[in-house]
Structure 1
Amino acid sequence: MSTTISGSKATPVRIAFVIVPESTLPPDAVVALDEVDGLITARIAEGHITPELRAELEELHRTVTQQQRWVQTSPELDPHRLERPAEGLGIAHVAWERVAAGVLPEGVLAAPVERDRMLVWLLHEHHASARLCAEVSEYGRRIAGDGLWEQRWPS
């Protein structure tokens, strides 16, 4: 996702993916997002993502943020905004979807598909759990659907 708006200056946002013991996450969760102005960290439980996919996603997200296709609205106004359920505004759609190994080219573990008001990450089925994808997609309903991040799609 991509840039932060703090006052009038936009700077690249960093998105980090970290694999952690499941015991360090909230009960019944395999992923937790921590957001501050300029950084979002996805803490993912061991066994729900491979280190290879984690690295590939971090690199792909770096590309999206550097291109400034998604803009982080300031979390300083509401530092606990990700903890609330989606309001269902449907502004944009962001999701993670597992796909069969043969859908992606040899050696590719993730591929973004982006359109106006939509970003779907296709993930190799052997590298991400269905539960992880469902939980990240729920975060996507809150983040993109409710406008916490805004897409900057070319007109």
Structure 2
Amino acid sequence: MSKTISGRAPVRIAFEIVPESSLPPDKAVALDEVDGLITARIGEGHITPELRAELEELHRTVTQQERWVQTSPELDPHRLEQPAEGLGIAHVAWERVAAGVLPRTVLAAPVERDRMLVWLLHEDHASAQLCAEMSEHGRRIAGDGLWEQRWPA
């Protein structure tokens, strides 16, 4: 297993496409978190396999470079299930964009700044519901400091 800058094994962010019936009613995504891994289980009608693969690869780069790091979920293993506290530490969102906004073969593009990460997603490959739910998860995860951005000073 490769090591990150800190010498620890990289945290992994995984995306799985699952039957919608395996998710809570009326949900496009469910998140599961353990130390070193967060898994987004996405309903099959809300993301294409091509976008899922691209997002997983892009997130691997972000975590291996330690631009975003997980704080310990062991203190509160159900912390993702709690509503956002509104601390506003950082902003992470998923936004659907028209195909012409992205280069021809690109389905996802991260836009990152200090205290912000926005994922621009090809509108034909992600549902509006998925983007809204992932943005809400971002308000909890990044906004409340469950994951921290390590932007170079």
Q: TM-score range by the shorter chain?
A: over 0.9
Aligned partners of 1:76, 1:87: CA distance in 2, in Å? 19
Residue aligned with 2:50, SS: helix
* Secondary structure in 2 matching 1:65: helix
Q: Counterparts of 1:140 and 1:77 in 2: how far apart (Å)?
A: 20
> For residue 40 of structure 1, what is the aligned residue in structure 2?
38
For each residue in 1:7-52, what CA deviation from the matched residue of structure 2 results, as whole angstroms up to 9, or x when unmatched?
A: x974310111000011101122110000000000000001100000
- Report the alpha carbon displacement of residue 66 of structure 1 after superposing the two structures with TM: 0.6
- Residues 57-72 of structure 1 correspond to what in structure 2 (within 5 A)? 57-72=55-70
SS of the aligned residue for 1:41 comes to strand
Which position in structure 2 is the counterpart of 1:148? 146
Query: In structure 2, what is the Cα distance between the partners aligned to 1:150 and 1:17?
Result: 20
Question: For residues 70 and 10 of structure 1, what CA distance do their matches in structure 2 show?
Answer: 14
Local SS of the residue matching 2:9: strand
List structure 1 segments (4+ residues) > 2 angstroms apart after TM superposition: 8-11
TM-score by length of 1: 0.94
Equivalent residue number for residue 23 of structure 1: 21
More strand by share: 1
Point out where structure 2 has 5 or more consecutive residues left out of the alignment.
Answer: none
User: Any residues of structure 2 matched to 1:66-81 within 5 Å, and which?
Assistant: 66-81=64-79
What is the identity, as a one-letter code, of the residue corresponding to 1:124? H
Q: Which residue of 98, 123, 126 maps to 1:125? A: 123
Normalised TM-score (structure 2): 0.95
CA distance in structure 1 between the aligned counterparts of 2:24 and 2:82, rounded to whole angstroms: 14
Tell me the CA shift for residue 64 of structure 1: 0.5
Alignment gaps of 5+ in structure 1: none
Aligned CA RMSD, in angstroms, stands at 1.6
Describe the SS at the equivalent of 2:94.
strand
SS at the partner of 1:131? helix
Separation of aligned partners in 2, 1:99 and 1:110:
9
Matched letter for residue 81 of structure 1: R
